[in-house]
Amino acid sequence: MVLIRGAEATIYLDKNMGEVIKKRLPKRYRVKALDDAIIEERTKTEAKIISDVRRAGVPTPIILDLKDDEIKMEFIKGETLRDIVDEQMMEKAGEIVGKLHRGKIAHGDLTTSNMIYSDSEDRIYLIDFGLSRYDTETEARGVDIHVLFQMLKSTYNDHEELKNSFIKGYKRVLGEDEANSVLKRVEEIERRGRYK
């Protein structure tokens, strides 16, 4: 059964087994050579990085099997933060992203759609690591946070409060100094994209 037909991949759910298959479908708009390379790179990256993500203390689904264009993983029952996010959840998300960055990984696509809140466990899972990479540079961390903040601003009227809650959690894990240098870089990145 198709659970989600996303922009990046289609997610099939096998409810009895408690498993999902994430399959990256070819994009007809891309030339084949480029498309094949992107699909393979992202599938491999995701499978490889996801175990290190767990090791860093970030809740994420367990990988069960891997092919060239698909990953079988544990099904997480819950709802994405997209429509239910509040300040408390965002503070938790800040802690989680702090742990990820401390674990030397940049996510590459941080949005509230890539965070699942599990009611039964009362915790937040981070998903979708296709654009992730090992990177401890302030720049990579800054872009991560910039992408998230931009998405908060476009989507929520109370984005300032959500942003501040996130920062609180992020600083708690990464430490005041390291977090501040990332946040300073976020401001720089925002200025860079503007009309010159």
Partner 1 sequence: MKEDAIILGIEGTAWNLSAALVDERKIISEYEKPYLPKEGGIHPRDAAQSHASNIKEVISKTIRKAEIDLDEIKGVAFSIGPGMGPCLRTVATASRALSLLLKVPLLGVNHCVAHIEFGRWLTGAKNPLVLYVSGANSQVIAYRDKKYRIYGETLDIGVGNAIDKFSRFFGLKHPGGPKVEELAKRGKEYVRLPYVVKGMDFSFSGLVTAATSKSKENSLEDLSFSFQENAFSMLTEVTERALSYARRDELLLVGGVGANLRLREMLETVCEEREVKFFVPDRRYVGDNGAMIAYTGLLMLKNGMATPIERSSVKPNFRPDEAEIPWF
Which residues are the active-site residues?
Answer: 109
Q: Name which of 113 and 138 has its Cβ closer to partner 1.
A: 113
How far apart CA 175 and CA 196 sit, in angstroms, is 34
| Residue ranges in 42-71 that form contacts with partner 1 under rule CB under 8 A | none
One character per residue 81-110, x = contact with partner 1 (rule: CB under 8 A): ---------------------------xxx
- 122 is a contact residue toward partner 1 (CB under 8 A): no
Binds partner 1 (CB under 8 A): choice among 146, 163, 171, 185: 146
- 196 is a contact residue toward partner 1 (CB under 8 A): yes
Binds partner 1 (CB under 8 A): choice among 17, 26, 34, 119: 34
How many residues of this chain interact with partner 1, rule: CB under 8 A? 35
